Amino acid sequence: MTITHKHVDEIFEYDGSQINPSWAFQEFGIYGSSIITWIGPVNITPDNLKDFADVGLEIKSNYMANFICEFFDQQPPNMRVAYLRQRLLVMIFREILSEYGIATKREGDDIFVDERKLSISIASVSLSSAKIHFALNLEDKGTPDDVDTIGLYDIKDNNNNQIFNEDNLVDLINKTVDRFIDEIETIEKDISKTKVLL
125 lies in some domain: yes
| Cβ neighbourhood burial of 138 (10 Å; 0-12, 13-18, 19+) | buried
Is pLDDT of 46 > 80? no
Report the distance separating Cα 55 and Cα 131, nearest Å.
19
Distances from the Cα of 138 to the Cα of 11, 22, 99, 145, 157, angstroms: 13, 27, 19, 17, 16
Q: What is the pLDDT of residue 58?
A: 67
Split at pLDDT 50, 70, 90, the class of 145 is: confident
Q: List the CATH number of the domain containing 98.
A: 3.30.930.10
156 lies in some domain: yes
Amino acid code (one letter) for 53:
A
80 lies in some domain: yes
9 lies in some domain: yes
Phi, psi angles (nearest 5°) of residue 137: -60, 140
Average confidence score pLDDT of the chain:
92
Say if CB 172 and CB 118 are below 8 A apart: no
Say if CB 98 and CB 104 are below 8 A apart: yes
198 lies in some domain: no
Split at pLDDT 50, 70, 90, the class of 47 is: low
Report the distance separating Cα 132 and Cα 109, nearest Å.
11
Query: How much is the pTM?
Result: 0.92
Number of domains forming the structure of the chain: 1
67 lies in some domain: yes
72-89: average pLDDT: 97
13 lies in some domain: yes
**96-119 confidence digits (pLDDT tens):** 999 999 999 999 999 999 999 999
84 lies in some domain: yes
Is pLDDT of 74 > 60? yes
Choose the weakest-confidence range: 85-94, 98-107, 143-152: 143-152
Domain encompassing residue 137: 4-193
85-92: average pLDDT: 98
Split at pLDDT 50, 70, 90, the class of 57 is: low
Report the distance separating Cα 91 and Cα 7, nearest Å.
21
